[in-house]
Amino acid sequence: MSGRTLYDKLWDAHRVRQDADGTALIYIDRHLVHEVTSPQAFEGLRMAGRKPWRTRSILAVPDHNVPTTDRSAGIADPVSRLQVDTLDHNCADFGITEFAMDDPRQGIVHVIGPEQGATLPGMTVVCGDSHTSTHGAFGALAFGIGTSDVEHVLATQCLILRKSRTLQVCVEGELAEGVSAKDVVLAIIGRIGTAGGTGYSIEFSGSTIRGLSMEGRMTVCNMAIEAGARAGMVAVDDTTIDYLAGRPYAPQGELWQQATSAWAELHSDADAVFDKTVTLDGAAIRPQVTWGTSPEMVVPVDGRVPDPDEESDSVKREGMRRAMQYMDLKPGMPVTDIRPDHVFIGSCTNARIEDLRVAAAVIRGRRVAETIKQALVVPGSGLVKRQAEAEGLDRIFLAAGFEWREPGCSMCLAMNADRLQPGDRCASTSNRNFEGRQGQGGRTHLVSPAMAAEAALSGHFVNVSHSSE
């Protein structure tokens, strides 16, 4: 019998029961909750006269609707305010821990979970949010769920699931200077497509992945869903354990010793068999820029916008034409000729301290180009913001002409006041370039923090990877 994959191990360790029809009942260790996908779940719970199964497994935070400007007067938009108030009331009623809007630890749910050590290796982690795949970076089985399943986990601590297939994405080699985790995951999505991981759990492996910090691994796992996979994961190693040591929710003392020795098993066995394996040359990856309205519509910064006429599949060709029209680009145009007028550095993909340090290093001593209408930096959490300020990064951003904001999802999906206007073009460190994602009629180019920072200064995309020139 062959060995087990990391996914197999996590699955087996959480299986409450197996049904003959192929479904299994899977136990959930950590339930993260935010204000957008939970109100109807709490309402359903109340209507059925049920209570949360294990309140202490839940950590809640408002992030999608919160303003990133001064919060002392609360939320101006009454509809947003009602949703955040509803979360506050639900958490108070059921005794759930919440980092409310004025808590210094408040931030994007996928930033604060790991930051607090509330995400641990070997856990099952769910949240009513597709970017829950982020937490797989810790050797956890983490995936997004809909509101009905949020209610199901609240009521039963379990989900009815069918085992997925396994996809190994192996990236080998040393990244060129200026190339980051974001470029790696965009290159992977460009290779396998936005549906390439549908029905699979992805394990990211290889020397390139092992060489990434936890922040970088989170960026990669975050976008597993953009490749169609509900879950992405990375095996546990010293980088994982070093990151978690001493965090508020991480075990201490004797339990820490027990935990770390158990976590050493959280990797795929050498003889484990994956349903599919894809290999990429990490050393060949260039900084990536999306040109279209799906994350798979991506090219290297030194490339050109593709020509739909060269696409043989008619459905794809039509999709490319529509995307090009929406994005107002011409086939064959060099990517470096694309001129964003907005820059957004933030989101659960790229708003951790490492991301802000990289962007600040590019920006230091320079000025935002005159053609840029707005350049925003939105830290992923209150603690990231405080750390950045302690390092003086805020002053670098402000001196260059960036706005330095309060933490939240912000312009990644524009549920709060931060949004593009029709026709605006944004270099964004977020995860989705869908039509209207950052504001109706807005145009999004997904890039790394270094690429976004450089685009803000130059007014167009520039190859930040000098060693690849």
Quote the least distance from Cβ 162 to another protein, whole Å. Answer: 7
Phi first, then psi, for residue 29 (nearest 5°) are -85, -40
Quote the least distance from Cβ 394 to another protein, whole Å. Answer: 28
Burial of 177 (0-12, 13-18, 19+ CB in 10 A): exposed
Quote the least distance from Cβ 117 to another protein, whole Å. Answer: 9
Distance, in Å, from the CA atom of 147 to the CA atom of 298, rounded to the nearest integer, reads 31
Quote the least distance from Cβ 268 to another protein, whole Å. Answer: 20
Quote the least distance from Cβ 45 to another protein, whole Å. Answer: 9
Residue with tokens 């309140």: 55
Close Cβ partners of 254 (under 8 Å, ≥ 6 residues apart): none
DSSP letters for 177-213: TT--HHHHHHHHHHHH-TTTTTTEEEEEESHHHHTS-
Quote the least distance from Cβ 156 to another protein, whole Å. Answer: 4
Quote the least distance from Cβ 280 to another protein, whole Å. Answer: 22
Residue with tokens 């919160």: 66
- Which runs of consecutive H residues, i.e. helices, occur in 288-328? 314-327
- With CA atoms as reference, report the closest residue to 25 among 156, 130, 199, 128: 156
Nearer to another protein, 322 or 339 (CB): 322
Nearer to another protein, 270 or 315 (CB): 315
Quote the least distance from Cβ 397 to another protein, whole Å. Answer: 26
Distance, in Å, from the CA atom of 124 to the CA atom of 11, rounded to the nearest integer, reads 9
Using CA atoms, how far residue 333 sits from 22, 314, 328, 339, 403, in Å, is: 50, 22, 11, 12, 31
Count of alpha carbons within 13 Å of 466, Cβ hemisphere only?
2
Nearer to another protein, 145 or 378 (CB): 145
Nearer to another protein, 385 or 437 (CB): 437
Nearer to another protein, 23 or 458 (CB): 23
DSSP state of 425: E
Nearer to another protein, 13 or 273 (CB): 13
Nearer to another protein, 120 or 456 (CB): 120
Q: Which amino acid is at 233?
A: M
End-to-end CA distance of the chain: 48
Nearer to another protein, 79 or 390 (CB): 79
